Amino acid sequence: MRKLSLIILTLFIFFAISSRLLFANEENYKVLDAQSAAQNAKSYENSSKVLFIVDYSNSMNDKIGGKTKLQIAISTIEELLTKIPSTTQVGLRIYGHRQGITYMDGCTATKLLVPIAPNNAVNIQGALYSSSAKGWTPITYSLKQAVNKDFAGVTGEKRIILLTDGGENCDESPCTYAISLMKERSDIKIDVIALDIYDAEANNQLRCTALTTSGKFYSANTQQDLKESLYDSLNVDKDVRGSVKIK
pLDDT digits (tens, 9 = 90+) for 99-136: 877 888 899 999 999 999 999 999 999 999 999 999 99
Instruction: Please determine, for residue 200, whether its predicted confidence score (pLDDT) is greater than 70.
Output: yes
Report pLDDT for 100: 74
What are the residue ranges spanned by the domains of the chain? Answer: 1-46, 48-233
CA distances from 236 to 56, 230, 246 (A): 25, 8, 11
**Integer Cα distance of 176 and 126 in angstroms:** 34
pLDDT digits (tens, 9 = 90+) for 69-105: 999 999 999 999 999 998 999 999 999 998 877 888 8
Instruction: Please determine, for residue 44, whether its predicted confidence score (pLDDT) is greater than 50.
Output: no
CA 28 from chain centre, in angstroms, equals 35
Instruction: Please determine, for residue 240, whether its predicted confidence score (pLDDT) is greater than 80.
Output: no
Report pLDDT for 26: 34
Instruction: Please determine, for residue 25, whether its predicted confidence score (pLDDT) is greater than 70.
Output: no
Superfamily of domain 48-233: von Willebrand factor, type A domain (3.40.50.410)
DSSP 161-184: EEEESS---SS--HHHHHHHHHHH
CA distances from 239 to 45, 222, 228, 236 (A): 19, 19, 12, 9
* CA-CA-CA-CA dihedral for 147, 151, 154, 158, to nearest 10: -70
CA distances from 152 to 23, 29, 84, 148 (A): 51, 41, 23, 6
Q: Classify residue 96 by its DSSP letter.
A: S
The answer to whether the predicted template modeling score (pTM) of the entire model surpasses 0.95 is no
Report pLDDT for 93: 98
Higher pLDDT pick, 31 / 245: 245
Q: Are 57 and 83 in contact (CB under 8 A)?
A: no
- Beta-bridge mates of residue 93: 53, 112
pLDDT-above-90 percentage for the chain: 71
Indicate the pLDDT class of residue 39, thresholds 50, 70 and 90.
Answer: very low
Report pLDDT for 127: 97
pLDDT-above-70 percentage for the chain: 77
Q: Which of 4-8, 72-76, 107-111, 211-215 has the lowest mean pLDDT?
A: 4-8
Based on its alpha-carbon atoms, the radius of gyration of the chain, rounded to whole angstroms, reads 25
**Integer Cα distance of 28 and 38 in angstroms:** 15
Report pLDDT for 245: 53
pLDDT digits (tens, 9 = 90+) for 158-175: 999 999 999 999 999 999
Q: Classify residue 14 by its DSSP letter.
A: H
